[in-house]
Amino acid sequence: MSKTKTAFFCSNCGQESAKWLGKCPSCEQWNTFVEEVIVRGTDKKQTEWKEFSGLSNGVKTISLQDVSSSEEKRILTADAELNRVLGGGIVTGSIVLIAGEPGIGKSTLFLQDALQLKNVVTLYISGEESEQQIKMRADRLKIENEKFFLLTETNTQTIFQEIKKLRPELVIIDSIQTLQSPYVESTPGSVSQIRESAAEFQRFAKETNTPVFLIGHITKDGSIAGPKILEHMVDTVLQFEGDRNYAYRILRTLKNRFGSSSELGIYEMTGEGMRQVSNPSEILITQREEQLSGVAIAATMEGIRPLLIEVQALVTQSVYGTPQRTNTGFDLRRLQLLLAVLEKRGGFHFGVKDVFINIAGGLKVEDPSIDLAVLSALLSSYEDVALPLHICFAGEVGLSGEIRAVNRIEQRIAEAEKLGFEKIVVSKYNTKGLGKSKFSIEVVALGKVEELYKYLF
């Protein structure tokens, strides 16, 4: 029998302590420590693992010059959005964590992608659903695949015995919070269980060169459930998000060791699964027949993909003593900063107005190049004058009221031109070395907020 040991874990960040603490020294949260019973495994755990992987203990130090540098092998899926978000396909031996709200479509997306991989032996491990439930979903997707195998099990050692028989080329686990390692005596979903189960699959992925997808839960405040170490252990962290009231879903990269960590994939939820949206700009811009005040189009970037999105603003007289500042999909502090710039540099009295900002389509945008469009929408609603339909904006606004340059301006201009816009307003500092002659769209270069107001109104 191995020794039994009790430890306390922070349920927020996973910090381990020998005794209970009121405040976590790592994340500084109060009353987050919970007691868990741990059974420290003996050497039997290691020998079982080595027998499974068929690897010896012949570890040796090697010079960096002796390591051969070759391009990592990737499995290309039928899903172009997932390929781009992962940096060009699934890297063999990588471990990927996907988190999202319940019911957002994580299981549907990865079941669909796995069924479309006709030449790859895939094992789908479900700890949450029965075989019948998964079969019903697969029937709805109308995809058949003879190399797709199911396993409904939560014990990690039983899973590894099945993997040993099947030898899959891709493993999908739904979800990591339901798995239970026999080497840890605590309930599934606890900090130590998640950490141990993830560590076992990480070793499996690296030693057998098999890619593993871990589908995970999120907490009520939107962060990934389980200890923070879970995100450090994996190679890639993806967040699957979207508003349930909209049909569109966004697959966002939070961390990627094999590609850009600012990529974005957009899907539409249909009755037959997830449909890839190859040109998201068209769905993010409302098709308007008449001109409306308070609407401006921003040319933004998500990773290497240019997007044109609609910014809506509403400025009304404040009824209560304190004016409201309400926003959806935009940073509230950034909005207050832009309002202060308009008050100080333009002389507009937003201090007595209620201000509402909305990014259409349920997107959350962090690119500072959206500033100019937000400012234009605010001024349009303030003056109650509609902006021209075929104009868009790309620029950051500084505290002194200057319009600052943004990166990848040529890609933004090309995307605006492709969607039929006639004018794009950019910073005059962006026009150095910019070949305006190769674009048929008119590029308007401005340097100050005051110049923007004069140009528009």
Q: Answer for the pair 188, 177: CB distance below 8 angstroms, yes or no.
A: yes
User: End-to-end distance of the chain based on CA atoms, in angstroms?
Assistant: 81
Name the amino acid, one letter, at 154: T
Q: Is 242 annotated as a binding residue?
A: no
Distance CA 199, CA 329 (A): 35
Q: Which residues contact 423 (CB under 8 A, 6 or more apart)?
A: 388, 390, 391, 392, 441, 442, 443, 444
pLDDT of residue 389: 84
Please spell the DSSP secondary structure of 232-244, one letter per residue.
HHSSEEEEEE--T
- Alpha carbons 375 and 350: distance in angstroms, whole number: 12
Q: What number is the average pLDDT over the span 241-261?
A: 83
Q: Is 249 within 8 Å of 274 (Cβ atoms)? A: yes
Contact 172, 125 (CB under 8 A): yes
Does residue 172 have a known ligand-binding role? no
Band (pLDDT 50/70/90 cuts) for residue 434 is confident
Pair 281, 355: CB distance under 8 Å: no
Is pLDDT above 60 for 44? no
Q: Does 107 belong to an annotated binding site?
A: yes
* pLDDT of amino acid 135: 93
Say whether pLDDT at 50 is over 50: no
| pLDDT, mean of residues 72-78 | 89
Q: 312: part of which helix (H) or strand (E)?
A: strand 305-317
Closest of 340, 307, 311, 291 to residue 408, by C-alpha: 307
Q: What is the pLDDT of residues 103-148, one digit of tens each?
A: 888 999 999 999 999 999 999 999 989 999 999 999 999 998 999 9
Q: What mean pLDDT is predicted for residues 55-75?
A: 78
* Count of residues in the chain: 457
Q: How far apart, in Å, are the Cα atoms of 194 and each of 16, 20, 110, 191, 222? A: 14, 20, 21, 5, 18
Q: Indicate the average pLDDT of the chain.
A: 86
- Judged by DSSP in three states, 419 sits in coil
Q: Is 106 annotated as a binding residue?
A: yes
88 annotated as belonging to a binding site for a ligand: no
Q: Where are the beta strands (DSSP E) in 40-121?
A: 74-75, 90-91, 95-100
Residues 363-373 have a mean pLDDT of 90
Q: How far apart are CA 105 and CA 81, in angstroms?
A: 15
54, pLDDT greater than 60: no
Going by pLDDT thresholds of 50, 70 and 90, the confidence category of residue 57 is low
Give the strand order in the sheet containing 236-241. Answer: 148-151, 122-126, 170-174, 212-216, 95-100, 236-241, 248-256, 264-270, 273-276
| More reliable by pLDDT, 389 or 336 | 336
Residues 236, 11, 152: CA angle, nearest 5 degrees: 60
Q: What is the pLDDT of residues 295-340, one digit of tens each?
A: 999 999 877 788 899 999 999 998 888 889 999 989 999 999 999 9
DSSP state of 439: -
101 is in an annotated binding site: yes
Q: What is the CA radius of gyration of the chain?
A: 26
What's the pLDDT score for residue 40?
52
The reply, when asked if residue 104 is annotated as ligand binding, is yes
